[in-house]
Structure 1
Amino acid sequence: MKNTIEGFILSTKKPGRGTSGMELKLPLAGIRIEEIRRQNLFWIINHEFGGLSVNLSKALDLQPSQISRVFNSNPKNHRNVGRNLAKRIEELTGRPDGWMDLIHDFVDYSTTDQRPKQAARGPKPAAGSSNVQPFDCQLRPVPIIPWDMAEAWTLNNGGIGMLAQEKLLCPVPCSTKTFAMRVRGVTMEPLFNEQEYIFVDPDRKPEHGRFVVAKSSKHSQVMLRQLIVEAGRLYLKASNPTWPTPFVDLDENTRILGVVIFKGEPV
């Protein structure tokens, strides 16, 4: 049995230990964990970083070769996605711990020679000039809005931007509707801490395991939670293990306002 949410196919098998909800499956026999991580990385780059590995490298503050070598077929130059790198990618993209290690129905694992697109190269620099190439991804300034404005922002397609006095550059590709907010409260600790910034894109399709901002008319509040799909039902989950109401039903009284695409903390 399979269900869909916003175009994504979700497995309805009961989750194993260390996972929650649907869509996540244990690795298939015959596929090495390094290949699973590589294909998951390829999917993320294609869908969230404009198909360019250099964009992800910039967001992770890594040298471009540290990502491009994952797709290098030359054994001398190839590198695998280790657990530390996988964890950094999961944290950057707002995915649950272990997401990179699991099989997902929407990722194609049958092709082993896929590579991200290469950034267009400019003319060779003249002698004595810098050979540093500009970053291909244009960072978009997005408004910082209060929590109680999130629903109006989404419903008006970002049309209340003139009310936002402060803006931040979003470190990852995003739509023109993207906005930023400061985390409040302890509901999502330790994954999200108070005063951290989150960047929320209303145009991103929610999928199981992603972190979303939602508005519940029943509870009259805008909340940050993790989307969980299990046995055909949708929940919003708090990360704090001590939170008194860890799950909220996602029903007709609740509206997803956007998907968290990046989090950061001012320094």
Structure 2
Amino acid sequence: MTRKHIPIRLKNLEILIREAGSAASLARAADTNSSYLSQVRNQLPTKKGTPRGIGDDLAAKLETAMDKPQGWMDEDHENEESIALERDGPSRGNHHPLIAWDQVGKGHEISEDKPPPYNTQLLICPVKCSDETFVLRVRGASMEPKFREGELIFVDPQAAADHGNYVVVRFEASNEVSFKQLIVEEGKQYLKTLNPDWPNRIVEVTADTVLCGVIIFKGEAL
């Protein structure tokens, strides 16, 4: 794979995720690890410090899984995607489950074929988001003063994570789920705790870190 293919492959990965319905569904169809696909999608670094990319083997798996011709991952489909969005329109559903922190990444997507578990609280997101969006209730004081305990945060696993975004992450070694501010500097990624009184406020993103989604909205029930 030549380096010029990296940006276009990442763009086409987003198209395939939308077609599959979710990143998890695409990973299952391609018989690949969903955590690795998340790391590739968000350009998390390898042990050498270089961003994870879509190699030829993974590109071929994705093409086969989604019935695309060979080489599809290296072609520009932006115009095709725009036409499809105009034709199909926005997603019909905008109700998203309020889940516990230990449920993050364990499959909570809602569809006609997969209704939410009984007694699941569903909340409407006031901003544009994907069907995979879920809701968490803030716990603790690590992200004060911007986020306070009890507030609701809407998390979109399909949103691209950029510098300054607030993200929900899982640390695979401990299986701990938390949320931090993403900082990108000189090609490296860091997670920042906002509370100035908190110890060890900045940690580097490693291969052990799985990005579970970007916080797109916060609110508080009265």
TM-score norm. by structure 2 comes to 0.54
Contact 2:110 2:116 in 1 (8 A): no
SS at match of 1:152: coil
The share of aligned pairs that are identical, in percent, is 41
Larger Rg: 1
Is 2:112 the partner of 1:166? Answer: no
How do residues 129-144 of structure 1 correspond to structure 2 at under 5 angstroms?
140-144=94-98
Residue in 2 aligned with 1:73?
A: none
Structure 2: runs of 5 or more not aligned: 1-5, 8-89
Deviation per CA, 1:237-264, whole angstroms, max 9, x where unpaired? Answer: 1001111121122111001000000000
Deviation, 1:217, is 1.5
Structure 1: runs of 5 or more not aligned: 1-5, 8-135
- The 2-side partners of 1:231 and 1:225 are apart by 19
- The 2-side partners of 1:241 and 1:169 are apart by 32
- The 2-side partners of 1:200 and 1:237 are apart by 17
Change (3 A) 1:266 1:157: closer
Residue of structure 2 aligned with 1:253, choices 196, 208, 212: 208
- The 1-side partners of 2:110 and 2:202 are apart by 29
SS at match of 2:106: helix
Structure with more of its chain in helix, by fraction: 2
Measured on the aligned residues, the alpha-carbon RMSD in Å equals: 2.5
Deviation, 1:140, is 1.1
Change (3 A) 1:254 1:205: same
Contact 2:192 2:202 in 1 (8 A): yes
Residue in 2 aligned with 1:262?
A: 217
SS at match of 1:191: coil
Residue in 1 aligned with 2:105?
A: 151
SS at match of 1:186: coil
How do residues 1-267 of structure 1 correspond to structure 2 at under 5 angstroms?
140-153=94-107, 162-163=116-117, 165-267=120-222
Residue in 1 aligned with 2:52?
A: none
Residue in 2 aligned with 1:103?
A: none
Change (3 A) 1:254 1:161: farther
Runs of 4+ off more than 3 Å: 136-139, 156-161
- The 2-side partners of 1:194 and 1:250 are apart by 25
- The 2-side partners of 1:165 and 1:208 are apart by 33
TM-score norm. by structure 1 comes to 0.46
- The 2-side partners of 1:195 and 1:225 are apart by 16
Deviation, 1:179, is 0.4
